[in-house]
Amino acid sequence: MMIMDITILLWLVLLVLNGIFCQVITLTKQDPCTPLSAGNSSIDDVPAISQALITCGNGGTIIIRAGEIFMIRSPLDFRNCIGCNFQIEGTLKVLDDIDYWEGKTAFFLMTNVVGGTFHSLTGSGLIDGSGQAFWDYFAINKTYERPLLIQFSNSSNIIFTKIKLIDPAFWFIFITNNSMNIKLSDLVLSAVSTSQNRPKNTDGFDTGECSHISISNIHVTNGDDCVSFKYGSDYITVNNITCIGSHGLSVGSLGMKPDHPYTVKNIYVSNAKMINSTTATRIKFFPGGPSHGTVIVRNVTFKDVIVDNCDYALQVDNCYESNVTTCKEYPSAAELSNIRFININGKTSKKYDPNIAKINCPPSGTCDITFIQWDIVAPSGNSTVLCSDYHNPSGIICKGATSSASFLFRNSFLLILILRVGVSILMLPHPPSHPQGFSLFLFILYCCFLFYFFLSRKTYTNFMFI
């Protein structure tokens, strides 16, 4: 009898524990938060979304439902997302209130977000920056400070995927302030003006002080840089990207202010298609001197890039947004090292035909740029690469200030040495066993050697006295 009582008691205990356990499981599996739109453009929907983030932001799910438009009349901050799942199937639309938004940092702030996933399961999710009003106003007021569309700041371990972004007032996406481990993929970015005013400064992706950022499977139509690697960018990969009408895949601009070094390193871009861009690839930096910072660009690779009707396939600009007088007085001392262009193919536009690239290296710095399988032609069928201060071209033939003549005149010691050797050969007494023109024959051989040597330019750096 006692044994039966104990057995019954144990069963009761198990039932109670099971109920508690099931209740814990039920609480853990929280229902998604689905904020409701007010359905009125005069009402700000940000408070409703913010409350959903407070309720479900810690590991929960927030759903912006399909068919609903949420008006963003104030900055939406996602700081309460800690491992949250933010699902956008409807539309987040910024109100184009010019006066209210002036000077604001961004419409959408990803500040101190850790482990969030922002995505659309159906691909219908849309973030609309209502940029047209801002572009039109900026055309008449260049001092107007426009907000970014999305800024990632001090955030990490984020996935941002399968969302369409349109018409930002300024840049689309800026990643900065020590953000890391962010994956952006399967995104469509579009900034197209319906007026005569261009969508200026609508950069696609700008990476600042951040590391280990992945950008893949992207389609961008805009009016400025497609991707811009700004100072502090480290270990950034871009793969499978199409850029239409942009200013290209750009390193920089760098060195604008003197208060800190400008370093960009470990950048890898592959499988890019550049269409109707002002330049497909670009490195841009300010001159030297006390008004600008030091510039270091290391370990940058552009691989498998298709150039389609771009004005330049490549531009290296050592005098960015500066006048010639300043750049001559304070030549850039930037360090460009291990910069590689691999399998770059296609055709430029007619704008600079036959010039397909312009490489102005830092006159007082280093310019370690290598080309492997560079196959770019202009519409005329010619392929001229304009160069200055690029003393050891590898994989291309330069035209311009890197010619042998200009190199020699800049290196007077080498020029005098070559002339003295030539004169000495002509003045050699010819042995009786050799014909009268033997010295002339040796001089011609010497000239042929010099011609071949400087034409190939394989060993320039061994004879540099700059």
Specify which residues 187 forms β-bridges with.
218
Section 209-226 average pLDDT: 99
pLDDT at 199: 98
Section 425-441 average pLDDT: 62
pTM for the model: 0.82
Section 15-37 average pLDDT: 64
Domains and CATH numbers, the chain: 32-207 (2.160.20.10), 225-402 (2.160.20.10), 412-463 (no CATH)
* Tokens 């840089």, residue located: 225
Catalytic, 391? Answer no
391-420 pLDDT, tens digit each: 989 999 999 754 444 444 445 555 566 666
pLDDT at 418: 66
d(CA 52, CA 158): 19
Please tell me which residue in 119, 212, 219, 247 is annotated as part of the active site.
247
Exposed / middle / buried, residue 413 (Cβ in 10 Å: 0-12, 13-18, 19+): exposed
Section 184-207 average pLDDT: 98
Lowest mean pLDDT across 28-37, 119-128, 334-343: 28-37
* pLDDT at 437 exceeding the cut of 90: no
* pLDDT at 26 exceeding the cut of 60: no
pLDDT at 448: 66
pLDDT at 403: 40
Section 27-55 average pLDDT: 92
